[in-house]
Structures are given as C-alpha cells and as structure tokens.
Structure 1
Amino acid sequence: MPTIELVACDMAGTTIDEHGDVYRALHTCVVETGTPVTDENLQTWMGADKVEAITALLQLGGHPADETTVRACFDRFRSLLRQYYQETPPQGLPGVEQALRTLKERGIKVALTTGFSRDVAEPLLESLGWAVGEDELLDAVVCSDEVAAGRPYPYMIHRAMERTGVKDVATVAVAGDTIVDAQAGAAAGASHVFGVLTGKLTSADFDGSGVTEVIGSVAELPERL
C-alpha cells in the first residue's frame, strides 16, 4: 500500500460541526418557493455544489429550475446560513483539529474540499481560525465553484492534489460524511475512502458508495493511516 501523502476531507459534518445548519438552510430556501423536499432527496444532494443541489431539488419537487429561481434560492441559502452561523457559531468536531495537526506533523498534506462556494467557505474557516499555510492547519482548501463540477465528480480532489504537489492519486485518502463524498473519492481513484459517521448517515448507508472503510470521526484518521 502506497504511503499516504495527502488527506482530503469534507468540511461541514466531517471536520466542522455546524449544527445541521447547511441541511436546514438548503431545505428552507427550496421549500420557500413552494417546492416539496423529501428527506431522501435532501440527503442525496448534501455535500454537492449548492447551486447544483438547489437545481436538482427544485426539479425533483416539480418546480421550474430556471436561472433566476436558482440564483434567488442560492442567495437565500447564503443569507440563511449567515444568520444561522451568527446565532450558533460552527465549531471543529471533537478531536479533529488535533488529528489534522498530527497528520501534518507526519508530513502528510491536509486539504479541505467543500460543496460551498469560496465566499461561503472562507468566513466559516476564518471563524474557526483555520488557515492555509506551511505553519497553519491546512495546506489547501478547494471549493465547488473552483472546478468544472462538484461532487460526485472527482475534480476537487484532483485540484487539491495540484495545490499540494501530490502527483499519485494512490497516495491520497479521502474522508466525508455523505454519499457524494465517498463517490467522489472513489471516482478520483483514492486508495482510502473513509465514510465518516459524524453526519446523518449510518454505516449501512455507505454500502455501495465506494468507501473502503467507515469510521466514527476524522479524529480517528491518524491511527487508521
């Protein structure tokens, strides 16, 4: 098994406890248009690029997903998320920050990938004091609006490899709390794809998604690797 050079983790629900506010904001911004949203469809699109998720949820609910409606929903999503984060600030999940620091101390690059756009992700990371740099917690952050398509496509993982100078995808480990996180890791060709149970899924939910192992938390990664 190749030595791991890069760990790429999802943000909300995987490394960051944002109290389910992304789930709530995504649900609310679509339902406010009069479009029904099932829990199953919402969970399917969690972790995906949020514009793509809104478009899909509108279509699944029988609402025209024209550009104007999608843009209005996305603006509402961002507004709701800012409001929720002000009311209940996000926190790093227990043990995760130390685990990421341990990986960096071992010489492993640490990247975060997210279905958020850059303008949503940066204030969230700043509020936690998580920054990119040689002496910082992270080596790269890749947002869904910086690639051709978000999850389940592998492009954010490949962009993280570019930004950290990692050339062999067999040396990459991916961790996430949603099905599309796992699918993106498998599509990228990562040697380790961890399904993480700090979100809303059970171990059984990850069956067939491409995970190589299910773990309770990203805090376990140093021992698993």
Structure 2
Amino acid sequence: MDGTLVDSEKLWDVALRELAAEYGGTLSDDARRAMVGTAMATSMRILHDDLGQPERDPLVSAAWIEARILELFRTGLRWRPGALALLRAIRAAGVPTALVTSSGRPLVEVALETLGRDSFDAVVCGDEVTSAKPHPEPYLTAARLLGVPIGRCVAIEDSPSGVASALAAGAAVLAVPAEVPIAPADGVHQLESLTAADLELLAALLGESPA
C-alpha cells in the first residue's frame, strides 16, 4: 500500500520526524530508510535507538504515530503514478486481488476510502498476522484468502522488506522502488514506475499469456 499504490511514505516521514522532535531529537536519514516497509513495532524500535532513547515504550510511540498519520491520511493521500490505472485494468480483467500491507487495520480503513473498498478481494494488515514482512506469512495469508496458489501470484512491492516477504512466500515479484533502492535479485523484475506495467507484463512474470 504505502509507496506502491499511494504516495504515503512522505506522510509517514512527516509523522516520524514530528515524533522525533517531540522527543527532543532528529530522526536520521539512515534510520528513516530502514523503517520503510517494516511493521510498526520494528519502526518504533529503530526510531528509539536512533534517538538514543531505547527505554521508551514502543506502544506509546506507535499510538502517537497512528493518531497523527490518520490525520494526514484523511487529507493528503495521493495515488502513485500508474497505480490506479493498473489496478482498474486488473479488476476489469477479473483477476483476484489482495492488498498486503504492514500498516494496521485502522489506518488501512482510512486508506480504503481512497483506494476503494471494492478494489480488493482480500486485505491483509500488519496487525492481523503473527509475523509481518519480511516474513512470508502476509503473502501466504493473502494467497490462501484468494484461493490461489502462491506460485500463481504476482506481488507488487516498493520496499526491500516487502520484496523479501513475497520472494520467501514463493510469489513472482514486480518491484517499483519508491523511497529506498531495491537490490537486483533472481525472481524480481524492476520498473521505475507502474506507468510501464500492464496485464501482459504481469502474465509474463508468471510465464503465461494474458487471458
């Protein structure tokens, strides 16, 4: 979701840097990059360590971030280039589609007002799995909910954590880096933008022809 479908990483950046300032510090660029695509608990540990305040309660920090990001999502959520057109084409073709995100359900519910609740047959949130990305559980869960073998799924990701999760699950991967670079890897096709993606490409990643 974040950075792949919607240009929300910049909103997370605002909230995280505001919290760092609230704690009397400044979030480093390296720490911010390390947070991209991770679960909230991991991001809060990175933030606290970066500020030299590891003793802080990650639940308290997470609650602050979630409240602030909800405000930002309601007013500033924008589609990534090519994302809406590709999603519409996929839905028009009748392809089963799942949203697999590290964000929690309350935030996703707000985002779905922009994304469209009928855009996905299944939604897997970061607070609804035992192990978040880069663990394979989120994508395996999505494939199970769709009733589709994971080997016939294409995961579209923007972060190293998300790519690792999809690869470990056994999906084909289309990577479209947003905020951080993604290292080349077997089984990962990279594009600069989803404006260059279409149904033919997704089928090709599975070694198939589009229906």
Fold shared, TM-score > 0.5 on shorter chain: yes
Alignment of 1:46-61 (within 5 A): 46-61=36-51
Q: Does 1:196 align with 2:176?
A: yes
1:122 aligns with 2:109: yes
Q: Distance in 2 between matches of 1:28 and 1:64?
A: 18
Name the counterpart of 1:186.
167
Aligned length: 201
3-state DSSP of counterpart to 1:207 = coil
Cα deviation code 1:14-37 (max 9, x no counterpart): 001236101221333244324553
Deviation at 1:78, TM superposition (A): 1.4
Match of 1:138 in 2: 120
Matched, 1:163 2:153: no
Residue matched to 2:201? 224
Change in CA separation of 1:210 and 1:130 when aligned onto 2, cut-off 3 Å:
farther
Q: Would you say the 8 A contact 1:44–1:179 is kept in 2?
A: no
- Judge conservation of contact 1:17–1:90 (CA < 8 Å) in 2: yes
Displacement of 1:157 after TM fit? 0.6
2:28 corresponds to: 38
Equivalent-residue separation in structure 1 for 2:201 and 2:152 (angstroms): 14
Tell me whether 1:80 sits opposite 2:61 in the alignment: no
> Does the 8 Å CA contact 2:81/2:194 hold for their aligned counterparts?
no
- Secondary structure (helix, strand or coil) at the match of 2:119 reads coil
What is aligned with 2:207? none
Deviations 1:135-165 (A, max 9, x none): x221111100000121111111111112111
* 1:206 pairs with 2:186: no
Shift of residue 117, structure 1, vs aligned partner: 0.6
**Would you tell me which structure has more helix in proportion to its own residues?**
2
Name the residue aligned to 1:172.
Answer: 153
Rounded Cα–Cα distance in structure 1 between residues aligned with 2:34 and 2:186: 15
Q: 1:65 & 1:155 partners in 2: Cα distance? A: 29
Query: Quick one: structure 1 residues 194 and 91, their matched pair in 2 at CA, closer, same or farther if it must change by over 3 Å?
Result: same
1:94 maps to 2:94: no
Which consecutive residues of structure 1, in runs of 5 or more, have no partner in the other structure? 1-10
Question: How many Å apart are 1:47 and its aligned residue?
Answer: 1.1
Which residues in structure 2 correspond to 1:145-160 (within 5 Å)? 145-160=127-142
* Distance change in 2, residues 1:173/1:181 (3 Å): same
Pick which of 156-165 and 75-84 moved more.
Answer: 75-84
Q: Residues 33, 92 of structure 1: CA spacing in aligned structure 2 closer, same or farther, 3 A cutoff?
A: same
Considering only aligned residues, what root-mean-square deviation do their CA atoms show, in Å?
Answer: 2.2
Decide which structure has greater strand share.
1
Inter-partner Cα distance in structure 1 for 2:48 and 2:9: 24
User: Please, what TM-score do these two structures have when normalized by structure 1?
Assistant: 0.80
The structure-2 alpha-carbon separation of the partners of 1:82 and 1:215, relative to structure 1 and needing over 3 Å to count, comes to same
TM-score (norm 2): 0.84
Gaps of 5+ in 2: 203-211
